[in-house]
Amino acid sequence: MAFSLQLQQIFPSPIKFCSQPKSPNPQIFPNLTKRLSIHPLASAQNNATSNIDHNYIVTDKSSINEEEVSLPPELRRELMPKHIAVIMDGNRRWAKKRGLPVALGYAAGIRALRNFVKLSYNWGIRALTLFAFSSENWFRPEAEVDLLMGLFDKVLKDEVENLARAGIRLSIIGDSSKLPKSLQDLIDKAVMTTKANSRLHILVAINYSGQYDVVQACQTIAQKVKDGTIEPEDINSFLVEQELLTKCTEFPSPDLLIRTSGELRLSNFLLWQLAYTELFFSHSQWPDFGEAEFLEALSSFQQRQRRYGGQSS
């Protein structure tokens, strides 16, 4: 009940995303200053959402540099991972721990993501895969799903031009057919607008399942066998990899996976692609994952020997 009341403050008119996709209310983030109540938690939520309106993932060129900046002294450029996957866990727990609305946890998570992308961009990371919404997340409370769909809608509307100017390419992996039609249209526009960029490739996993990713790859290969374009003996791991949803990036297999909030599992994320990925589990909840925590993860990665099943040097 409390969560529903919080969402009514953000979304003055009820919207439905969970069952039959519908176009979200174009006023999904109106001028909240005039709409929210003066309750302290509502006021805090209002301020956080207002910040999201203007400070999303990418800002102007003063926050993301044209050239790579010098790395912190504890890092070596030749040992930097090219592709980092991230399970951004702990937004809800972060808010609940502070007695705040869950929506404020997601707002804080967006700010952490913005800083994470900026650091990755400046430090020369080539690809990021961000687990934003799993296929299992549809089972969360409907109001929370509505909130997340609204946030996806808002960031795409606000940030696609900034991404394009910064040289960032955006791709969405997952079954987008289950998303609201208006959100699907925004995704198509963002992908097309940024497809020629190469400075940093951001893959956002929305309605994604690692198990389904492998299944759909097998289905595609099976159809090719049925059509006679390949023989069964032609099937190998390389062929499977070419049919996974991460085939859109130059670096389909992450070098490093970061998961926050102390959870020690993969949660159905990139199950094939993570076969030889180095894993780093942080006790920090995602909104608290900043530069120091990122440095800790990268330093840990650079101290490891990646043997891929072979012997150590």
Which positions are annotated as active-site residues? 89
The residue to which tokens 């809608």 are assigned = 153
DSSP letters, the chain, are: -HHHHHHHHH-SS----SSS--PPPTTSS--GGGTS-S-HHHHHHHHHHHHHHHS-S---TTTS-SSPPPPPTT--GGG--SEEEEE---HHHHHHHTT--HHHHHHHHHHHHHHHHHHHHHTT--EEEEEEEEGGGGGS-HHHHHHHHHHHHHHHHHHHHHHHHHTEEEEEES-GGGS-HHHHHHHHHHHHHHTT--SEEEEEEEEE-HHHHHHHHHHHHHHHHHHTSS-GGG--HHHHHHHSGGGGSS--S-SEEEE-TT--S--SSSTTTTTT-EEEE-SS-GGG--HHHHHHHHHHHHTS---TTS---
Asked if residues 9 and 42 have their Cβ atoms less than 8 Å apart, the reply is yes
Q: Cβ neighbours of residue 213 under 8 Å, at least 6 residues apart?
A: 173, 244, 245, 246, 270, 271, 272
The residue to which tokens 């005039």 are assigned = 34
The residue to which tokens 């919080």 are assigned = 6
